[in-house]
Amino acid sequence: MASSLLPEAHREVRREARRVLQLERSDRRAAEQALASLSLEAQVAVVCEAPLAQRASILELTPYPEAVIPLLPEAELCFTVKAVGLHDASWILEYATQDQIVAAVDLDAWSGLVPDVSTLDQWIAAFAEANDSALLRATQSLDPELIVLYLRAHAEVELKPAGDDAEDWVVPAGAQTLDGQFYLTAKRDDDDLAPLLRMLHVLFQKDYWLYFRMLQGVIWELPTELEEWALRWRTGRLEDLGFPSWDEAMRIYGFVRPEQRAALPDEGDALDVAEWRLPVWMSELPAPADDAPAVFRALRELDAEERRSFFFAFVALANKVAVADGMPLGDAETTPRAVQKAALAVSRGLEHIARERDVALADVLRRASLTRLFRVGASIERSGDA
């Protein structure tokens, strides 16, 4: 029995997507025609249903990629660009929206609670390969603090003194300048400043105030403060995408003492969960086969509306697992891993409470929140009582 959480119209879109994907492997011309006959929503579905290695090929077949790419969920844009390869994805980034660009960097260019400058380098290099308009849009989208950290990692910046102070001033050895005022020197002899200089050149031409602010920031701003503010902005945006802060996510591992594990509310409102826009293409959960985790088997007894609410509650829990465990949010494999871990822990808690209270699995789902069930399951595992 399938656990589809989509109305029939959306399931039809998925069937169309699979048909196009099959055609693409055997007859690209027929696949191109089939894509052109679909709505934009359906074309987005085809791209997102495609294996990552196939997505560039599908996008090339769409009649108007400039209309499809901005509609990709934020995380899917990130996964697609990485699958294509950042060095080859500038044509995709040229059509990406500011929200998609910021989300991709938020998801992929961080290591724990600090920016991952080496990964940020790759993203900015990809933006620099795009046209001027796309590069400007990307630079204006990113947090200024993040850009300053990127600049500081690669270059020393010196401002030419004004007035009499300039008489004895000497241009630093190997320095480059775009304006005769700010001089940049590579921190390492083998560092390629081409992407950095291209970004600054576009800013100098089209957004001088941001150009001026960035270079002043390299000179005067403290790295610790830059990282703190960059983290603050990123945390707020990730919360909007359904990823809680690390502190909040870690609450799922709060220990539940043995005598408290079987507690169950009398009323069932655990599935009173509002829908929210997902940053990933995840339209249904695994079908509840007989050997599936108990939480998915329990879906058989829920009605369609309850299953839909459960879906959003479960994805929110999986996001908490991903953040708490420090999984790389820009990795396409993270969501499946987090879903699997959440399902096993929730199932352990679900079966424990159902057994102790002699209540059906579905009734427990209706009465106990998924976070509560996860905490019970994780506590049982930690205690070695499983």
Do 96 and 193 belong to one domain? yes
Q: How many domains is the chain built from? A: 3
For 2, the domain range is: 1-65
Do 105 and 215 belong to one domain? yes
Alpha helices in 27-129 (DSSP H): 28-36, 40-49, 55-61, 65-68, 74-84, 90-93, 98-108, 117-129
Is the Cβ–Cβ distance between 256 and 379 less than 8 Å?
A: yes
* End-of-domain residue from the set 65, 87, 113: 65
Q: Which residues touch 229 (CB under 8 Å, ≥6 apart)?
A: 143, 145
Do 10 and 118 belong to one domain? no
Do 183 and 285 belong to one domain? no
Provide the pLDDT for residue 66.
95
Do 251 and 231 belong to one domain? no
1/15 Cα distance (integer angstroms): 17
Do 76 and 101 belong to one domain? yes
Which pTM does this prediction carry? 0.89
Do 156 and 58 belong to one domain? no
* End-of-domain residue from the set 240, 275, 306: 240
Do 217 and 278 belong to one domain? no
Provide the pLDDT for residue 285.
62
Do 372 and 278 belong to one domain? yes
- Per-residue confidence in pLDDT tens, the chain, 386 aa: 233 334 455 667 778 778 888 888 889 999 999 999 988 988 998 999 888 998 999 999 999 999 999 999 999 999 999 999 999 999 999 999 999 999 999 999 999 889 999 999 999 999 999 999 999 999 999 999 999 999 999 999 999 888 766 777 888 888 999 999 999 999 988 888 999 999 999 999 999 999 999 999 999 999 999 999 999 999 999 999 999 999 999 999 999 999 999 999 877 788 887 777 888 887 666 555 557 889 999 988 988 888 888 999 999 999 999 999 999 999 999 999 999 999 999 999 999 999 999 999 999 999 999 999 999 999 999 987 65
Do 252 and 364 belong to one domain? yes
Do 111 and 224 belong to one domain? yes
* End-of-domain residue from the set 26, 41, 65: 65
